[in-house]
Structure 1
Amino acid sequence: MAPGAEVTVRLVKSPRPDVRYPATVVGDDGTRVVVRAPWAGAAVRDFGFVRFETGDVFTEHFWRDRWYAVKEVRAADGTLKGWYCDVTRPARVTDEDGGTLVVADLDLDLWRSADGRRVLRLDEDEFAASGLAARDPDAAARALAALDELERLARQGGFTALTGSA
């Protein structure tokens, strides 16, 4: 994926509807694809520990060989809010819609605040209810290992070494 190219990010949320949003490619080294996208959800989504709102910018790191994505979240004024991490199957690039980054979301998430004081494992109940452990025990084990790795990284100083961003 060429830097500057417009792409569609497609988060497969089966059995729920997929989420699609436009993004701009920042870089692709063959293993990691980095895109930048504005917050594409409702005007404001308040999670209690962070608010995503119109004007927020997400710099999203997707790997073709890792079971997660790391998204740096900044407010419209550039202030770092933190990192929202999705546990996913490895990313794939398709020719669909002129270029689509496809990622299967596995329901587990992690949040790390900008100051590092809050590291939260999220949606473990949704993951358990998804039935993935019964349908695909190997994928479930990889997903849980990915969440553990993200939590370890978050608690050991964040994602700078992994993503190259502050």
Structure 2
Amino acid sequence: MNERGRETGTVAAGAEVGIRLVKSSGREVRYRARVLADDGTHIVVRAPWAGEATRDFGFVRFEDGDVFTEHYWRDRWYSVKEVRDPDGVLKGWYCDVTRPVRVTADGLTSEDLDLDLWLSADRTEVLRLDEDEFAASGLRSRDPDAAEFAWRALAELERSARGDFEKVLGI
């Protein structure tokens, strides 16, 4: 791999990598994940729930023992996290609107743009989330191009969630 902070090539399946999720507030969430695949554009990793406690969103609970299969792209403005309980039962998909993932010697860095989408396992719920946080982030005035990419990404995710969601994941 290249020097610290520089883009690298693909990451090997089976390798353990650091995941760094950077929030617009500057807060960071860091955890470790196992690489399942990397084709040079699409990276798939698996990790246990990284939160310190149960997080109840009202429409889903993330809790100890949940397993996240996370999909990141170097050329898409979102990531998708498939969420399963400890017994492997699918809870649904949590989609983060992000800048394209950066892969460095330190692992994967995903910059969260405060727009999210939830798709329930039975596909009856498609929820757009955190639009108020996105508005409050000031991205539209700081980086109008990024804000436009973010809105387009959310619209693409919602269209896919209401149609053939597997196409997003490439399965």
TM-score, length of structure 2 as denominator length: 0.91
Runs of 5+ in structure 2 lacking a partner? 1-10
1:51 to 23, 44, 61: 61
Does 2:16 match 1:16? no
Higher relative CO (Cα under 8 Å, sequence separation at least 6) belongs to 2
Does 2:157 match 1:150? yes
Distance 2:80 2:52 in 1: 21
Structure 1 residue 13: deviation in Å? 1.0
Does 2:125 match 1:118? yes
- Report if aligned partners of 1:11, 1:104 keep a CA contact under 8 Å in 2: yes
1:6 to 16, 24, 29: 16
CA deviation vs aligned residue, 1:43-66 (integer Å, no higher than 9, x gap): 311000000000100000000000
CA deviation vs aligned residue, 1:73-115 (integer Å, no higher than 9, x gap): 000000000000000000010112xxx1011100000000000
Cross-structure match for 2:144:
137
Letter paired with 1:122 = L
SS in 2 for 1:156: coil
TM-score, length of structure 1 as denominator length: 0.94
Distance 1:15 1:120 in 2: 23
Distance 1:152 1:162 in 2: 10
- Report if aligned partners of 1:68, 1:90 keep a CA contact under 8 Å in 2: yes
Structure 1 residue 42: deviation in Å? 2.6
1:27 to 21, 30, 37: 37
Does 2:114 match 1:104? no
SS in 2 for 1:40: coil
SS in 1 for 2:153: helix
- Report if aligned partners of 1:68, 1:87 keep a CA contact under 8 Å in 2: yes
Letter paired with 2:102 = R
How many pairs are equivalent?
161
- Report if aligned partners of 2:24, 2:114 keep a CA contact under 8 Å in 1: no
Cross-structure match for 2:89:
79
2:79 to 69, 76, 87: 69
- Report if aligned partners of 1:74, 1:82 keep a CA contact under 8 Å in 2: yes
- Report if aligned partners of 1:116, 1:157 keep a CA contact under 8 Å in 2: no
Distance 1:145 1:102 in 2: 21
Q: Displaced runs of 4+ in structure 1, greater than 4 A?
A: none
